[in-house]
Amino acid sequence: MPATCVIGLQWGDEAKGKIVDLLTAQFDVVVRYQGGANAGHTVVVGDQTYKLHHVPSGILNPGVMNVVGPGVVVNPATLLKEIQSLLDRQIPVGGNMLLSDRAHVGFPWHIVEDQARNESTADGENIGTTLRGIGPCYRDKVGRSHAFRLGDLYRPDFREKVQRVVEAKKTLLSGWKNARVDSLDAAEIHAEYHGYAERLRPFVGDSTAYLLDAVEAGKRVLFEGAQGSLLDVDHGTYPFVTGSNSSGGGVSAGSGVPGRCSNQVIGVAKAYTTRVGGGPFPTELHDETGVRIRELGREYGTTTGRPRRCGGFDAVAVRYTARLSGIDVISLMMMDVLSHLPEIKVCVAYDLDGQRIRHFPSHVDDLRRVKPIYETIPGWNQDVSGAKTAADLPSGAKAYLARIAELVGRPVAIASVGPGRAQTIMME
């Protein structure tokens, strides 16, 4: 069966967009199935850089159908801006995109709540969200009474429901410190969203039926994960996670396509680790090397511009997510960033209260206490950004890839040495 999934194995920003973009030529359909405007997929084509938030990365390849599934939360204003900026750059967006009428919709009250929560939470406890209202929107989806799916925007009771929900939200949020409830006006929000709904109408439909037909017809489908497995709401570093299932488990729930239809899962990881926002990060580097990785890797958020926290490769975490997400092979990204480090430290186990462990702790308090146990690998001190094949890589870089494969327990099939399409090495 011809479906492939691309899943992040760390805390997001693993450069999944680049891998999806490279693969799309071999696929008929690309599907986003979770997350929303919090995601930022950067794709570099020639001298052009595209930053995508909702729209699947397949949009940059002519002839590919792009589906936004039921598990995504859509912010219509951001999505419309994204569509417009693609059109402005002569990228066609029309019949090649389908938005699920089951996808939930982000509203201003979600952002008001997200902001109030961020501003009212003490530093160590703050998730440091992207402030896009993602968590509150997913919470309303699960809570059911205050939620809107895209299809609801076209129903006759839409205006009345907005009125009812705005009143309820004002009551609920008025007790919250820093919640700017005065900004919520039902008539204005209805008018604004009615306008969005009309502009999005040509794209909205039953994506589940479409995808089930597609897999039955033998079409080749690529599932594009957003965020990374360590941000998964059930299996990640809870509560410092996002609101959706961003590990491999989310593919089926978020798209409607049964898991048995996928025959390949590619896990994407950086050759080091980054994290944006709060939460434990055992291999975080607060030294010169951390700063160097940030500058060389241009490690600043695509969506928020925040500097990313940087650290060494954590094989305990990636071994966990590789197994959790059921990956077949690893795509190891940003190898070029490590080119000139004299030595590279890889975390091979944790010390938890004096005990050496190799499993990833389920409780955030334990993860906060672990001390990484490192293995030091010599650097290769050679620019690899021009390497085209495995044979072009210095032996030190090859040894690094081999050791990561061994520690994670999966082969490295792809090594990326720069942002461009050509800077990608297919390993034997």
The contact set with ligand IMP (CB under 6 A) reads 11-13, 38-40, 127-130, 132, 134-135, 226-227, 231, 240, 242-243, 276-277
Residue 39 or 197: which CB sits closer to ligand IMP?
A: 39
Of 303 and 339, nearer to ligand IMP (C-beta) is 303
Of 331 and 339, which has the nearer Cβ to ligand IMP?
Answer: 331
Instruction: Name which of 2 and 128 has its Cβ closer to ligand IMP.
Output: 128
Bridge partners of residue 375, in order along the sequence: 346
**Burial of 157 from C-beta contacts in 10 A (0-12 / 13-18 / 19+):** exposed
74 vs 425 by CB, closer to ligand IMP: 74
Whether 21 is a known active-site residue: answer no
Check residue 193 and give left, alpha or beta (phi > 0: left; psi -120 to 50: alpha): alpha
Does 13 qualify as catalytic in the annotation?
yes
Check 41, 53, 146, 235 and give the catalytic one: 41
Structure tokens at 424: 């990608």
Closest CB 39 distance from ligand IMP, rounded Å: 4
Tokens of 139: 């919470």
Nearer to ligand IMP, 3 or 39 (CB): 39
Question: Min. distance of Cβ 274 from ligand IMP in angstroms?
Answer: 8
Q: Point out the residue whose Cβ comes nearest to ligand IMP.
A: 277
Contact, 262 vs 5, CB < 8 A?
A: yes
Residue 35 three-state SS: strand
373 CB-contact burial (10 Å; exposed 0-12 / middle 13-18 / buried 19+) = middle
As measured in angstroms, the least distance from the Cβ of 318 to ligand IMP is 16
d(CA 65, CA 67) in angstroms, rounded, equals 7
Question: Minimum distance from CB of 110 to ligand IMP (Å)?
Answer: 10
CB of 194 to ligand IMP, least distance (A): 26
Strand ranges across the sheet with 329-333: 204-205, 97-100, 65-68, 29-32, 221-224, 3-8, 262-270, 329-333, 412-416, 424-426
Assess contact for 133 and 106: CB atoms under 8 A.
Answer: yes
- Residues 335, 271: contact at Cβ < 8 Å? yes
Could you tell me which residues are beta bridge partners of residue 406?
none
| Cβ proximity of 243 and 134 under 8 Å | yes
Q: Which residues pair with 69 in a beta bridge?
A: none
Cis, peptide link before residue 239, omega less than 30° from 0: yes
Residue 38 or 289 having the CB closest to ligand IMP: 38
CB-CB contact of 214 with 29 (8 Å)? yes
174: exposed, middle or buried (Cβ count in 10 Å: 0-12, 13-18, 19+): exposed
CB of 1 to ligand IMP, least distance (A): 28
Minimum gap (Å) between residue 154 Cβ and ligand IMP: 27
Instruction: Give the residue numbers marked as catalytic.
Output: 13, 41
